[in-house]
Structure 1
Amino acid sequence: MKHKSFLILGLILGLASFFIWISLSPDKHLPTTPVDQNEVNTQQKKDNADQDKDETSETSDDKTISDGIKEAVTRVVEGAMGVFVKEDLDIVAIGDSLTQGVGDESDNGGYVGILEKSLKKSESDQNIEIKNYGKRGNRTDQLLKRLNKEEISESVKEADIILMTIGANDIMKIVKDNFTDLKYEDFVKEQTRYETRLQSIFDTIQVKNPDVKIFLIGIYNPFNQYFSEVPELGQIMNDWNKISRNVTSQYDNISFIPIADLFEGRKDLYYKDNFHPNLEGYQLIAERVFEYIKESIQQEDEKA
């Protein structure tokens, strides 16, 4: 049954990729026919009217997005009220597209951008800096290599807090590598290697900065809204989160932040690609992250 479910899933994903490719390809082979100039003029007027309408719509959309980022920041700021942030706080964000902020319609950097604006707004007199090294498509093996790049390495050495999203693309690589014959066992085989790479990432960071506090943000299941009849997908995501939680528990200064529950039954939290969070989705992640890092960013006298 599992074998059959994943084969069906592979076919669905393959067809989806094909139709996306078709929709993005230019219509090179469409036949050309003579047209009447009056029809062209009429169509041009219609196109101009539609363009004016689109521009008005875009202005309205921009306003909505602007209002959205303000609301997102305000909600996190409300949670930050009464929290006095450490002076000269350096936060480094590393990982995949969730760190980069892919899907955030406001182009403000997803949860990292919302968090940065919120902290600076709540503590305007503090020197707070968040460096974002998120890169779309990053897997654990790729992140491990990037940690040795000079810019990222130096930022890690100076960081007070490191925020990390990683793991989802490791899962996607298994899908791609076993596309025509995908089975649950393929993911089980990769779990140990994923665990080892995650440990190597943490060990590498700690060698560079033994005192830094690290927060690993979990993954959610974007496929549940369309493939709820394939329970193995949910199990895979749960497995990955369990491994991540278990690895973080082996270190005193590393914590796991769950976010899967935020997206359960919430189709409205996804970007139009149906995979990444939208602005509202990132807002919820930012709120959850702030709750977990709050103690670590407070001034010492406030904790007492």
Structure 2
Amino acid sequence: MKRFSVFVVLLMVLQLILPFSTTVSAEENSDLLNYLALGDSLAAGMNENSEIGLGYADLIAKSYMDEQEGIQFNKGFSYPGYTTVNVLNDIVENVTKPIYDLNGQSEKTASIKQAIQEADLITLSVGANDILKYVTRSETGSITFDAAGVLKGVQEVSSNYDKIFKTIYSINPNVDIIVMGLYNPFPAIQDPVIQTQLNMLVTTINNSIKNIVETNKGIFSEVAQLIAADSKAYLPNPANIHLSEAGYKVVADKMMNDYLNSIIKEVEEMTPEEVLKEAPFQDTKNHWGKEYIDIAYTQGFMSGFQDGSFKPNANMTRAQVLSVISRAFELKATKPAPFKDISHYAQQTQNEIAAAYEAGLVLENDGYFNPQGNITRSQLALVLMRLSNALAGEEFEPKELAPFKDIENYAYETQAAITYLFDSGIVQGTSATTFSPQGNITRAQLAKILVLANSKE
């Protein structure tokens, strides 16, 4: 997976199928999924009556929204009749259109490049209209094919898909893209010869698109057989090629299952045993941060207390945070830290603070570290940006600062650090315009932030 760590996306998908009983605050639910649907009438949700309703994109968004209200959704760039050329041109020309979400068309607008840049997930269904122009259906229902045109169309679709992927990645190299495959739009035709030709055509186009999608690290969802399995329910109007809501539901489930399977596969390849381990803390069972805590515990950089608790809501001191970060990123010290106020700590803790100092995460500050002071959100941002700079070997320079009014009086390095966390998707604000830089960091929040940051190392 690209935009999120595989663990975070896994949690997102699990929320689609496993309802959580806890209620999370805006601060805690900082992993809003930004979902953009691109494509033709299927992405727009046109049904068997040629009306825009709930399509697969809406159902994907709705299933997540029903559980956590953790999604920003827009299908405003999906349009009936669109071809691969139209989708590509929209991106290249950076068109602006009204935002269309689960509440319908909004008065707000967005440019497509900005929408792509902000997206964590993009779904795409397009290509059928490129081919259908070479297929003629008579008034009696018979089908004729322009063979040369169909061949040309398949080649153009493949070429344009490749261009679409490359153009999207040039805007947002971290976005995940799921492509819906094509299906036989005329299952009601009784002629077996025509049905054979249609199914061969669908298979040919799908294989061609699938090859391009997977070459570009996207996810391709085969839906043709699913639709064919109950075509009367999923394509109930013989005169209309669009799916019913039941058909879109099958497609939505297939696309998200394919997404989940790709995530599970990647997780298994990375840490096949570790992901399944559950931390033994009684006070995290129903906590919003349980999954992050389980990962932090499994990977060995956070542990609990002797009484069997984790204390997820306890604030963390500077010494505790630097120790955890040193363990999480396996930082090593070659010499003691120059701090006068850490000598009473265990040698391991002193070494971990020294490793953080040696990596440039904290400054000398006249020989004092203030180990018992609670670390603030802005201070943690600084530490993590400095860590990222050290690992990357270059300084992070934001294109523009994060849109938080309450960081305007802070030093530029601190503003840049908060922007780094915001742009990386590691944290969001406590509101659209506030970051609460003086807020403390709890143990659960640190577990979550470090799981995200560690995955981006």
Shift, 1:156, TM fit: 0.6
Deviations 1:166-199 (A, max 9, x none): 11101112226xxx97443431233222211111
Q: What amino acid sits opposite 1:144 in the alignment?
A: L
Distance 1:269 1:184 in 2: 28
Contact between 1:157 and 1:208, CA under 8 Å: does it hold in 2? yes
Paired position in structure 2 for 1:95: 39
**2:36·2:116 contact (CA, 8 Å) conserved in 1?**
yes
Alignment of 1:245 with 2:207, yes or no, is no
Question: For structure 1, which runs of at least 5 residues remain unmatched after alignment?
Answer: 1-75
Of structures 1 and 2, the one scoring higher in RCO (CA 8 A, sep 6+) is: 1
Match of 2:74 among 115, 127, 131: 131
**How many angstroms does 1:131 deviate by?**
0.6
**Preserved contact between residue 15 and residue 64 of structure 2 (Cα < 8 Å):** no
Is the aligned partner of 1:170 residue 2:135?
no
How far apart are 1:245 and its partner, in Å?
0.6
Which position in structure 2 is the counterpart of 1:268? 233
Corresponding residue to 2:118 among 142, 152, 158:
158
Report SS of the residue matched to 2:72: strand
Q: Which residue type is aligned with residue 200 of structure 1?
A: K
Q: Which residue in the other structure is 2:17 paired with?
A: 80
1:113 has 2:74 as partner: no
- Residue pairs, 1:224-243, within 5 angstroms: 224-226=187-189, 227-230=191-194, 231-243=196-208
Q: Is 2:135–2:146's contact at 8 Å kept on the other side of the alignment?
A: no
Query: Is residue 104–residue 110 contact of structure 1 (8 Å, CA) maintained in 2?
Result: no
| Inter-CA distance 86–195: structure 2 relative to 1 (3 Å threshold) | farther
Rate the CA distance shift 1:302–1:182 in 2: closer, same or farther, 3 A: farther
User: Partners of 1:303 and 1:247 in 2: how far apart?
Assistant: 37
Alpha-carbon distance, 1:77 to partner: 9.4
Q: 1:302 to 1:169 in 2, by over 3 A?
A: farther
TM-score by length of 1: 0.65
- The answer as to 2:246 corresponding to 1:280 is yes
> For residues 246 and 157 of structure 1, what CA distance do their matches in structure 2 show?
25
Q: How far apart, in 1, do the equivalents of 2:224 and 2:36 lie?
A: 23
The 3-state SS of whatever aligns with 2:162 is: helix
Residues 104-142 of structure 1 show CA distances to partners (whole Å, capped at 9, x for unaligned) of 779543111122111011223x3x111102100000011
Kept after mapping to 2: 8 A contact 1:99/1:164: yes
2:160 to 189, 192, 197: 197
Deviations 1:212-242 (A, max 9, x none): 1111110100223314431222111111100
Contact 2:161 2:213 in 1 (8 A): no
Whole-angstrom distance in 2 between the partners of 1:210 and 1:201: 13
- Give the corresponding residue for 2:219: 255
How far residue 204 of structure 1 moved from its aligned partner, in angstroms, is: 0.8
* Displacement after TM superposition at 1:101 (Å): 0.4
Higher helix share: 1
CA 1:303–1:218 in structure 2 vs 1: closer, same or farther (change >3 Å)? farther
SS in 2 for 1:284: helix
Q: Is the 8 A contact 1:77 1:122 kept in 2?
A: no
Q: Is the 8 A contact 1:140 1:194 kept in 2?
A: yes
Distance 1:161 1:181, change over 3 A: closer
Instruction: Please report how far the alpha carbon of residue 97 of structure 1 lies from its aligned counterpart in structure 2 after TM superposition.
Output: 0.5
Whether the 8 Å CA contact 1:220–1:260 is kept in 2: the answer is yes
Unaligned runs of 5+ in 2: 1-12, 23-28, 97-110, 137-142, 268-288, 296-457
Report if aligned partners of 2:157, 2:209 keep a CA contact under 8 Å in 1. Answer: no
Report the residue type matching 1:281 in the other structure: G
Among all aligned residue pairs of Structure 1 and Structure 2, give the percentage whose two residues are the same amino acid.
26
For residue 375 of structure 2, what is the aligned residue in structure 1? none
CA contact (8 A) 2:44 2:52 kept: no
Per-residue CA deviation, residues 46-80 of structure 1 (Å, 9 max, x unaligned), is: xxxxxxxxxxxxxxxxxxxxxxxxxxxxxx99961
Cα RMSD (Å) of the superposition?
Answer: 3.3
SS in 2 for 1:277: coil
Using a 3 Å threshold, how does the CA distance of structure 1 residues 284 and 302 change in structure 2: closer, same or farther?
farther
TM-score normalised to structure 2 length: 0.44
2:227 and 2:208 mapped to 1: Cα distance? 20
Residues 184 and 224, structure 2, Cα contact 8 Å, conserved in 1: yes
Q: Output the CA distance in 2 between the equivalents of 1:220 and 1:302.
A: 43
| Aligned amino acid, residue 219 of structure 1 | L
Measured in 2, the distance between the counterparts of 1:184 and 1:192 equals: 13
| Mean CA deviation greater in 239-248 or 143-152 | 143-152
Of the two, which has the highest radius of gyration? 2
